[in-house]
Amino acid sequence: MRRLQVDGPLLGGLLLICGFGLFVLYSAVGESNRLLVNQIIRLSVAFIGMLLVAQMSPDFLRRWTPWGYAAGLILLVLVLTKGEVGQGARRWLDLGIRFQPSEAMKLGVPMMAAWFLHHRQMPPRFSQLLVIAALIIVPTILIARQPDLGTAILIAASGIIVMVLAGMSVRLILGMGVLAIPGALLLWTFMQDYQKQRVLTLLDPDSDPLGAGYNIIQSKIAIGSGGLFGKGWTNGSQAHLEFLPERDTDFIFAVLGEEFGLLGVLTLLTLYMFVIGRGLYIAAQAHDTYSRLLAGSISLTFLVYVFVNTAMVTGLIPVVGVPLPLVSFGGTSMVTLMAGFGILMAIHAHRKLLPH
């Protein structure tokens, strides 16, 4: 394990999450073996990717960071001009292999922010923060234009987390909170009609109970009817009678809540918390600015993932199309997530090799 540069606790936590997730997914996809195997293959690929990334050294990653970031920006522009259109959005690029450049930027943005701060004295000066803000805003806007609001929010969050971890003053953080109001208005102008509808629906979900509010109402029914212990695996009536939309992707948390109850939901959240805690521990152990900021950002962005998805499924925030990490069906974001955990492992493995 040590030689493979793998962090045991982190790997264990991730395997438990994925294993539990597969159980829930099997029920959510209607007990289809084919789709289950499909997901297992994706998970395997993602784990192998994680192990490969874990072999790299943080110094190597840091040196290549600006090039990777620049390449990512170019690809994002290409997506907007030449990307493939699917379901009203341009997200995919076909350069021999089909992929979403926005996924790569989920790591590219925090890496770039950490790279920029690496040689500088902490806490960063205001002018330096402005540069980082620009590094965040450009890809965020490009992705919001695709449009992919969920990813844009995650990317912006990952960059902002770097700034906060770097020691940006509390006054500034509060100031940004105030600035968030005009920012939100700006965001509103970028939103598509369906996205605006989602926000309005959250503010008053019962205004349109058969239309836009349907998802939230049904997912609340699913979760609430699960009670303490759930209706039992594959016994969720909401999910299986097709009241619950998108039950194998964005709303899989509702299936978990219905079939495994509060107990199952808390179990999964505990596993997530363990993984996030381990990530923050690795960040605290890291010995250079780049590694610290990157490890911290990856861990906390994972938390943002979990929070946004669970909060949206329970009707706390608008529906923004963020999957439940490592559990929702689909492979695109999984690879990025696992690569991030690979970076965490690499940072942890190299902590003693770095100069004090």
Partner 1 sequence: MSLLAPIKDHHSERQLFLGRVLLTSVISALLLGLVVARLFQLQVVEHELFAEKSQGNRVRIEAVPPIRGLIFDRKGRAIAENLPAYQLEMIPEQVEDIDDTLERLATIGLIDAADIPRFKELGRSGPRFQPVTLKVRLTEDEIANFAVQRPRFPGVDFQPRLVRHYPDGPVVAHAVGYVGALSSDDLKRVEPARYAGTSHTGKTGVEITFESDLHGFAGYRHLITNARGRRIPSDSSELLDSLPVDQVPSPGANVFLSLDLDLQRIAAKSLEGRRGAVVAIDPWTGEILALVSAPSFDPNLFALGMTSQQYGELQGDPDRPLFNRAVRGAYPPGSTIKPMLALAALETGATNLSRRSFCRGFFRLPNSTHRYRDWKPEGHGSMNLHDAITQSCDVYFYEISGDVGINNMHDYLNRFGLGHKAGIDIGGEHAGLVPSTEWKRSAFRNRDDQRWYDGETVIASIGQGYMLATPLQLAGAAAALATRGVRYRPHLVAAVEDGMSGQRRMVDPQRLPDVEIRERDHWDAVLEGMHDVMQGARGTARAVGMGAPYQMAGKSGTAQVISIAQDDEYDEEEIDERQRDHALFLAFAPFDEPRIAVAVIVENGSSGSSVAAPIAKAVMDQYLGYGEKVAQ
Q: Which residues of this protein are in contact with partner 1, per CB under 8 A?
A: 119-123, 161, 164-167, 206-207, 209-210, 220-228, 237-238, 241, 243, 257-258, 261-262, 265-266, 269, 273, 276-277, 280, 283-284, 289, 292, 296, 300, 303, 306-307, 310-311, 314-316, 356
Q: Which is nearer to partner 1, 29 or 282 (CB)?
A: 282
- CB contact set of 19 (below 8 Å; sequence gap of 6+): none
H-only helix segments in 95-148: 101-118, 126-144
Q: Which is nearer to partner 1, 30 or 227 (CB)?
A: 227
**What order of strands is seen across the sheet that includes strand 84-86?**
84-86, 89-95, 97-99
Question: Long-range contacts made by residues 240-245, C-beta under 8 angstroms, separation at least 24?
Answer: 240/30, 243/218, 244/218, 244/219, 245/214, 245/215, 245/218
The least CB distance from residue 156 to partner 1, in Å, is: 16
Cβ(299)–Cβ(340) below 8 Å: no
Angle (nearest 5°) at CA 285 between 44 and 114: 75
Q: Which is nearer to partner 1, 65 or 289 (CB)?
A: 289
The least CB distance from residue 69 to partner 1, in Å, is: 21
Q: Which is nearer to partner 1, 315 or 323 (CB)?
A: 315
The least CB distance from residue 333 to partner 1, in Å, is: 20
Q: Which is nearer to partner 1, 77 or 311 (CB)?
A: 311
Q: Which is nearer to partner 1, 41 or 269 (CB)?
A: 269
The least CB distance from residue 256 to partner 1, in Å, is: 10
The least CB distance from residue 1 to partner 1, in Å, is: 25
Q: What whole-number distance in Å separates Cα of residue 308 and Cα of residue 322? A: 7
The least CB distance from residue 94 to partner 1, in Å, is: 37
The least CB distance from residue 51 to partner 1, in Å, is: 26
The least CB distance from residue 313 to partner 1, in Å, is: 9
CB atoms under 10 Å from CB of 29, counted, come to 20
Q: What whole-number distance in Å separates Cα of residue 259 and Cα of residue 253? A: 10
The least CB distance from residue 122 to partner 1, in Å, is: 4
For 98, the 3-state DSSP assignment is strand
Instruction: Report residue 182 as tokens.
Output: 């005009």
Q: Which is nearer to partner 1, 103 or 288 (CB)?
A: 288
Q: Which is nearer to partner 1, 198 or 240 (CB)?
A: 240
Q: Which is nearer to partner 1, 1 or 203 (CB)?
A: 203
Instruction: Report residue 49 as tokens.
Output: 């990717």
CA-nearest of 275, 327, 320 to 147 is 320
Angle (nearest 5°) at CA 135 between 132 and 139: 150
| Burial bucket for residue 82 (CB in 10 Å: 0-12, 13-18, 19+) | exposed
